[in-house]
Chains A and B, each alone.
Chain A
Amino acid sequence: MMRIVIIGGGIASAYLANSIKKLSSYNEVLIVSDEKYLPYNRIHLCSLIDKSQTLKNISLTLDPTIKVELEQKIIKIDKKNKKIFSINSMFSYDTLIIATGSLAKVPFEIQNINNVSVFRSADEAFKIAKNSIDKEVVIVGAGPISLELLETLNHIESIHSITLLVRHKYLYDKTLSAQSLKIIEESYLKSGKIKISYEDEIVETKIENNKIIELRSKKLTFKNPFIIFGIGILPNIEFAKDSLEYDKGILTDTFMQTSDKHIYAVGECAQIKETNFIAGHVKECTLQANSAISKILNLEEKEFEQEVSIDMLKVDCFDLIDVRSPTFTCDFEKIIISSDREKRVDEYYIKDNKLIRSIGINSNIDVGYIQNMIEQNEDVDVNSLYENRLLSEKGRLICGCEHLYHKDLVEIITQNDIRDFFELKDFSNAGRVCGRCKQMVEKIIEESKSLISPNIPRKTSEEIQIEKELKKIERRIDKFNKLHPYNQLTKDNFDNALKSMDIATKELNSWISMITASMQLHPSFEGSVGTALMSLNRIPIIWLELSDCSGNSEAFIKSTNPSIEDLIFDYISLDYHELLMSASSNESETILENIINNQKDKYILIVEGAVPLGLDGKFLRIGTHAETGVELLKRCAKDAALIMGVGSCACNGGVVAAAPNPTGAVGVSEALERDDVINIPGCPTNPINIVGTLLYYLMFEELPALDKHNRPLWAYEGRIHDNCERRGHYELGEFVQEWGDEGAKKGYCLFEMGCKGPYAFANCPTMKFNDSTSWPVQAGHGCMACTEKNFFDKYANERKIENEKAENEKSCH
């Protein structure tokens, strides 16, 4: 367990905190922000000025277990004692992440002047909204932020005059072509409210009573103006300069680690030493956050790499899309395709015959296409650029992040009967990634609602989805029912089977509800689960035992809910299983060959045990011909419709492959060199997870959703620690300190006794074992993460991981 402190209250900070909690809920996360508001999305600051949104609307959702300290401006870091200080408080950390973003540049001290502002925070947005009314507004700077603000203020009725002071001769970016500039400029000047003064800058200010009463630029004079500076930003790192290496920003490596190994910096405040790169986009900040988290939590390492960035500027009369390669520099050739009549310009920046940037004004080129072209780094075919300018007829680009165009969105709305932004969630993420286009999406939903046919039955997206699934399942079960397996127990005599096993229909139904729920399916799937169960025998199953201990077979026959499971056991056509079958030797081999030869692509192969590859596989031989384990596996796997590795040994070698792996054992997937083997790990696995996965396969044809270790998410998504019955004690800090102590008698948390629940994923806490009698945590021992890879080398002990690490380090020195 670590205490992770994040300084800063923006998107990067909220993203960091939420991600850390999601990946390691046991860590404590504290956000320290100098603002008085909870983290919010700065992209929407303009909407606070025109009051189209409230601060609440744009605030960012935080995991409820994240702690937040507001109005704490950090002034000092004491890296030796791992503490940070504000004027009146001190916070200690194990890991510190600095995500303080940037500060706006100002030409002079503006703090005490009422009619001057920058535009970086909610308070500044409020100040602009309040104090600019009926004033002559002067915006200094012509970058994207200034232009967006200009657009916003242009629409506010109480503002009558706005002047844009531009130091040079261009808007947005100096690389922009004259044609583009012209379109942008015209669209701003159209209302007559806006003046643009190029090659101009402030030369004198007259201040009285905390107010600039007169402002003079090279070319103009303003009385009682309201001035907004948008002349650039600087990393906000003053407080860290005493303790960390810095240049423009705090210097980090590509994992965002600073000169102190316990301190990271992410986002606009960080400068990557190797490349001098400083982030400027949400996407880059999140990528940096992921890199830092991967290092902090010891996950698979993700080095930060810059990706292609996409910027948009949306103004009533024009759209600007800017797609830029991380390798873009000012050394380029440019192709411009422009049309005066359509007020459209496509600018292609090319270097060494490769596309490195593209800016489109009112362009209808597919952004995804451009992005792909830059990423692929292929030689540009100039003709194609010209031809493709009419490629997309999908209307305006609405969401740059999702590459969603107007027409696409309208289609989604009308076909799925979407009535508001919330309902869109299940169909498209438009408006939800960076959030910039959210209002536009809402507007389009509003406009398109009338196009929805009144005959579309009113259904939730979930219902529509379920209907589709159910139809698919029906077809699939029908398909199976046309097969002719060995096991002749059929749907028609299912009732007979029920009677012969003494099972009441009620009992069966409650089992079906239970399994449906544990597979995380909607209750309306119960019918299908029942039908699938009755058709399960249509799939011939070969259960191979390789380098194993029979623990999973034992678990399977001892599974919970005796009679129902017996029924399933009979219903599963377990045609080959050495522990259980009465036939031996030649006769059992004949059965195996029959299935392999006559049921190609129809049978399921379940494998228990590891596959020894050492000694040419001869550490295991089976059958009268003394086939090696791996040969037999390959023979059975070749024409199997589905392969499941059951138990940890089959998944990744388990105990047999533990160091030093004397027999060269591997899991089934590795032995077969296939990545489509479903893994059901556990030592042994809970039999319900085998049955559930079989039903899933039968119903959905495809494999259930799997995690990166090919484990079905429905059974292996939950972290043991998160669903543990002793979690309450953990939260209260009540721990067992030694076996059999008072805490042990009271059922306190076993974390201090080396419980590996925080590192293991499985449904043990809810399903338990042996007819829900118990599970290792209930027995006071704690989890040993037997569902995780290499657990015998990493987790199967009774010591805390950090203690173990310290001990090993000690013994190394």
Chain B
Amino acid sequence: MKKVVIDPVTRIEGHLRVEVEVDDENIIQEAYVSGQLFRGIEIILKNRDPRDAGLLAGRICGVCTNSHFRAAVSCVEDAYHLQIPKNAQIIRDLMTMALFIQDHVVHFYHLHSLDFVDVTKALQADTALTSKTAYTYSDNPFRNSKSHYENVKQKLKTFVDSGKLGPFSNGYWGHKEYKLTPEQNLIIFSHYLDALKFQTNISKAIAIFGGKTPHPQSIVVGGISSVADMLNPARLNEYIFIIKESKEFIDRAYIPDMKLLATAYRHEIKAGSGRANGNFISVGGYEFDDSKLFESGVIYNHDFTNIDAFHHDKISEKVDRAWYRDDNQEEPFYTDLNKDATLKTEKNSDKYSWIKAPRYDDKPMECGPLARVLVSYSKQNRTLKPFVDTFLKEVDLELIDLSTTVGRNAARAIETQYIAEFIFKLTSNLLQNIKYYDTRTWTKYDFDTLAKESKGRSFFEVPRGILTHFINIKDKKIVNYSVIAPTTWNATPKNSDNQKGPYEEALVGIKIEDTKKPLEVLKVIHSFDPCLACAVHIIDTKEKELSSYKIK
């Protein structure tokens, strides 16, 4: 057995180390993933005024920034039993949804696509053929004229001629893992450039109601502060216009590109490459009208026919193999690395990551777009279902095929398309509400008369999966704070029972062509969209109560 260390894993948020053990044929037999940074935001939150939790907890991550901001404020509101006005709910949703779209598009094109697209091959593309090829995946492909592709090719050439490969320099070009034709490469590369503009644009949508992004600043306990923006028709119009533009791109570029990948990598998909253990979890949420955006539920072993109801009290957290004290799990307990700077993994009790191990029903679970799509689909969510059916039918795949490296991306794209549609519903609800002269954006409360002791929690589906925040308040101060983020679930270390988490499980069985260029490993890891700043949290061992919480 040979050990391959990959650190830093780039094109992700944060400090992730991957160690895999390969056999003589370079097939991965065992994998360990490790979060390499501890900050202790929960410790910092202690003894502070609960009303300040949002601004501080928002800093858990600059990528998923408004997710933590919102979850923190919501769990304080839960502790104080504050109902926020409908408008505030919608404005928060508008920011969340725009983040979903932004995050997913940036993730695929700028952080992940270079694991599939060989940029240098795009230069050999026949542009007429490219234009024709695009019709295979869409009736109305995005910017699909021959002259446009000529232009893009020329751009790429100028780019290369001008000596600047930018983010493409030093890539794994020519690697056997790249499977696209020159024309297919050119199509996705063309969208890569469009997506650069796309992501700055969609960020504006968040800033309209959030003041800025990353780290928006408009959510307050009891509601939102950006009432003047909400009441300004020009602001709302600008928001809708940006989403409309985005929707064009999603429908005509992002989704077709997924179909392209699903076709080109069909063999790999059918082989189940990158599949984790088949346990999925979704808390659902985002109610609208009489339905909701995502269903809640639990799937075990890819059994899509029996969806278990989600019960919060089945969540447990362990630190058997994470750098925290077994007896006092809040306290960092670093047991260091081996002398050769590799992770200590020999014994079942060896600790090797700053990420704690959340379990549901004692099992590691995968969360994220794939989990949401599988659960909602299997629970017959009638708004989501047609989006999935159409996609699967067009690429001739089954639901199980989504549980792969490429499938994870497809689920993410389907979800993006679905959300872009949903946003219009949200904005029309907002307009409807304001039209009937409800301009309330904040629920009044008197902090002095609020409970001095209370507990609160919030569960949200955010771009990368389930986010939970817990707060415990005493004497009007935070005594305990705790977070489980999506990447905590997906990048979890093992426990003493040696069960692998989703990242680790998905890596086992992958063959690495050249251990010096571990493109295959990066591809699997990237498909989960890791966010390490989010992932590392201590456990709140004291008085956490899950059972009374209702998911809206």
Interchain residue pairs with CB less than 8 A apart (16): A488-B163, A496-B158, A496-B162, A497-B164, A554-B63, A558-B199, A558-B213, A582-B168, A584-B11, A585-B518, A612-B38, A621-B36, A655-B41, A655-B59, A739-B223, A739-B442
For A753, what are the chain B residues with a Cβ–Cβ distance below 8 Å?
Answer: 225
The distance in angstroms between the C-alpha atoms of A701 and B422, with both chains bound, is: 53
Given A497-B158, A663-B39, residue A778 in contact with residue B211 (CB < 8 A): yes
Given A497-B162, A583-B171, A779-B218, residue A551 in contact with residue B62 (CB < 8 A): yes
Q: Is A580 an interface residue (CB 8 A)?
A: yes
Q: Closest B-chain residue to A780, C-beta based?
A: B225
B516/A740 in contact, CB under 8 A: no
The distance in angstroms between the C-alpha atoms of A778 and B336, with both chains bound, is: 47
The distance in angstroms between the C-alpha atoms of A393 and B55, with both chains bound, is: 65
Q: Is B114 an interface residue (CB 8 A)?
A: yes
How far is the CB of B68 from the nearest CB of chain A, in Å? 9
Q: Is B5 an interface residue (CB 8 A)?
A: yes
Main secondary structure of the interface of A (DSSP, over half): loop
B533/A548 in contact, CB under 8 A: yes
A780/B218 in contact, CB under 8 A: yes
How far is the CB of A134 from the nearest CB of chain B, in Å? 73
Out of B61, B110, B164, B208, name the residue touching A774 (CB < 8 Å). B208
B62/A549 in contact, CB under 8 A: yes
A584/B229 in contact, CB under 8 A: no
The distance in angstroms between the C-alpha atoms of A578 and B533, with both chains bound, is: 14
For A488, what are the chain B residues with a Cβ–Cβ distance below 8 Å?
Answer: 162-164
A740/B223 in contact, CB under 8 A: yes
B36/A744 in contact, CB under 8 A: no
For B11, what are the chain A residues with a Cβ–Cβ distance below 8 Å?
Answer: 579-582, 584
The distance in angstroms between the C-alpha atoms of A738 and B223, with both chains bound, is: 11
B166/A570 in contact, CB under 8 A: yes
A584/B214 in contact, CB under 8 A: no
Q: Contact flags (1/0) for A467-511 with B, using CB distance below 8 Å?
A: 000000000000000000011111001001101100000000000
Per the 8 Å Cβ criterion, residues 764-813 of A in contact with B are 768-771, 773-782, 784, 792, 796-798
B159/A500 in contact, CB under 8 A: yes
For A552, what are the chain B residues with a Cβ–Cβ distance below 8 Å?
Answer: 62
Q: Contact flags (1/0) for B93-137 with A, using CB distance below 8 Å?
A: 000000000000000001000100000000000000000000000
Given A496-B161, A550-B14, A779-B226, residue A562 in contact with residue B63 (CB < 8 A): no
B216/A779 in contact, CB under 8 A: yes
Q: Contact flags (1/0) for A430-446 with B, using CB distance below 8 Å?
A: 00000000000000000
Per the 8 Å Cβ criterion, residues 382-417 of A in contact with B are none
**Residue from the set A489, A490, A591, A746 with the largest chain B CB neighbour count within 10 Å:** A489
A584/B522 in contact, CB under 8 A: yes
A774/B207 in contact, CB under 8 A: yes
B225/A773 in contact, CB under 8 A: no
Given A615-B334, A745-B227, residue A622 in contact with residue B5 (CB < 8 A): no
For A578, what are the chain B residues with a Cβ–Cβ distance below 8 Å?
Answer: 8, 10
How far is the CB of A524 from the nearest CB of chain B, in Å? 29
B43/A797 in contact, CB under 8 A: no
Out of A551, A566, A584, name the residue touching B6 (CB < 8 Å). A584
Q: Is A588 an interface residue (CB 8 A)?
A: yes
For B516, what are the chain A residues with a Cβ–Cβ distance below 8 Å?
Answer: 586-587
Out of A500, A615, A796, name the residue touching B332 (CB < 8 Å). A615
A547/B168 in contact, CB under 8 A: no
Given A770-B204, A770-B212, residue A796 in contact with residue B8 (CB < 8 A): no
**Residue from the set A570, A744, A781 with the largest chain B CB neighbour count within 10 Å:** A781
Q: Contact flags (1/0) for A538-576 with B, using CB distance below 8 Å?
A: 000000010111111111011110110110011000000
Q: Contact flags (1/0) for B149-180 with A, using CB distance below 8 Å?
A: 00000110011011110111111100000000
The distance in angstroms between the C-alpha atoms of A776 and B54, with both chains bound, is: 14
Out of B47, B55, B334, name the residue touching A797 (CB < 8 Å). B55
Q: Is B433 an interface residue (CB 8 A)?
A: no
Q: Is B215 an interface residue (CB 8 A)?
A: yes
A779/B229 in contact, CB under 8 A: yes
Q: Is B382 an interface residue (CB 8 A)?
A: no
The distance in angstroms between the C-alpha atoms of A779 and B232, with both chains bound, is: 12
Q: Is B231 an interface residue (CB 8 A)?
A: yes
For B222, what are the chain A residues with a Cβ–Cβ distance below 8 Å?
Answer: 739
B65/A551 in contact, CB under 8 A: yes
Q: Closest B-chain residue to A497, C-beta based?
A: B162
The 10 closest A-B pairs by CB, nearest first: A551-B62, A488-B163, A779-B211, A769-B212, A662-B40, A740-B442, A770-B207, A739-B442, A780-B225, A549-B62
For A776, what are the chain B residues with a Cβ–Cβ distance below 8 Å?
Answer: 211-212, 217-218
A797/B163 in contact, CB under 8 A: no
B225/A774 in contact, CB under 8 A: no
Out of B7, B17, B49, B214, name the residue touching A555 (CB < 8 Å). B214
How far is the CB of B118 from the nearest CB of chain A, in Å? 11
Q: Is B56 an interface residue (CB 8 A)?
A: yes
Q: Is B439 an interface residue (CB 8 A)?
A: yes
The distance in angstroms between the C-alpha atoms of A791 and B485, with both chains bound, is: 26
Out of B63, B85, B164, B225, name the residue touching A744 (CB < 8 Å). B225
Q: Closest B-chain residue to A587, C-beta based?
A: B170
Q: Closest A-chain residue to B354, C-beta based?
A: A619
A622/B7 in contact, CB under 8 A: yes
For A559, what are the chain B residues with a Cβ–Cβ distance below 8 Å?
Answer: 200
B341/A738 in contact, CB under 8 A: no
How far is the CB of A802 from the nearest CB of chain B, in Å? 16
Q: Contact flags (1/0) for A728-758 with B, using CB distance below 8 Å?
A: 0000000000111000111100000100000
For B216, what are the chain A residues with a Cβ–Cβ distance below 8 Å?
Answer: 779
Per the 8 Å Cβ criterion, residues 288-341 of B in contact with A are 332, 334, 336-337, 341
For A583, what are the chain B residues with a Cβ–Cβ distance below 8 Å?
Answer: 10, 170-171
Out of A549, A625, A779, name the residue touching B63 (CB < 8 Å). A549
**Residue from the set A497, A582, A745 with the largest chain B CB neighbour count within 10 Å:** A582
For A744, what are the chain B residues with a Cβ–Cβ distance below 8 Å?
Answer: 225, 227-228, 441
Q: Is A178 an interface residue (CB 8 A)?
A: no
How far is the CB of A182 from the nearest CB of chain B, in Å? 75
How far is the CB of B239 from the nearest CB of chain A, in Å? 10
Q: Is A597 an interface residue (CB 8 A)?
A: no
Given A562-B197, A739-B225, residue A489 in contact with residue B40 (CB < 8 A): no
Out of B17, B164, B167, B215, name the residue touching A551 (CB < 8 Å). B215
B162/A780 in contact, CB under 8 A: no
B212/A780 in contact, CB under 8 A: no
Given A500-B159, A584-B518, residue A550 in contact with residue B533 (CB < 8 A): yes
For B38, what are the chain A residues with a Cβ–Cβ distance below 8 Å?
Answer: 612, 619-620, 663
Q: Is B13 an interface residue (CB 8 A)?
A: yes
For B439, what are the chain A residues with a Cβ–Cβ distance below 8 Å?
Answer: 740, 745
The distance in angstroms between the C-alpha atoms of A591 and B165, with both chains bound, is: 15
Q: Closest A-chain residue to B441, C-beta based?
A: A740
Q: Is A523 an interface residue (CB 8 A)?
A: no
15 extra interchain contacts, Cβ-Cβ under 8 A, other than A497-B158, A585-B7, A745-B228? A486-B169, A487-B163, A550-B61, A551-B63, A557-B199, A559-B200, A581-B11, A585-B8, A656-B44, A739-B227, A739-B442, A740-B439, A744-B225, A744-B228, A768-B212
The distance in angstroms between the C-alpha atoms of A739 and B442, with both chains bound, is: 6
The distance in angstroms between the C-alpha atoms of A12 and B360, with both chains bound, is: 72
How far is the CB of B142 from the nearest CB of chain A, in Å? 16
For B59, what are the chain A residues with a Cβ–Cβ distance below 8 Å?
Answer: 549, 551, 654-655, 683
For B423, what are the chain A residues with a Cβ–Cβ distance below 8 Å?
Answer: none
A562/B170 in contact, CB under 8 A: no
For A798, what are the chain B residues with a Cβ–Cβ distance below 8 Å?
Answer: 51-52, 220
Q: Is A659 an interface residue (CB 8 A)?
A: yes
How far is the CB of A71 from the nearest CB of chain B, in Å? 46
Per the 8 Å Cβ criterion, residues 185-228 of B in contact with A are 196-197, 199-201, 203-204, 206-218, 220, 222-228
How far is the CB of B80 from the nearest CB of chain A, in Å? 15
A584/B215 in contact, CB under 8 A: no
Out of A622, A778, A780, name the residue touching B15 (CB < 8 Å). A622
How far is the CB of A810 from the nearest CB of chain B, in Å? 11
Q: Is A660 an interface residue (CB 8 A)?
A: yes
For B229, what are the chain A residues with a Cβ–Cβ distance below 8 Å?
Answer: 774, 778-780
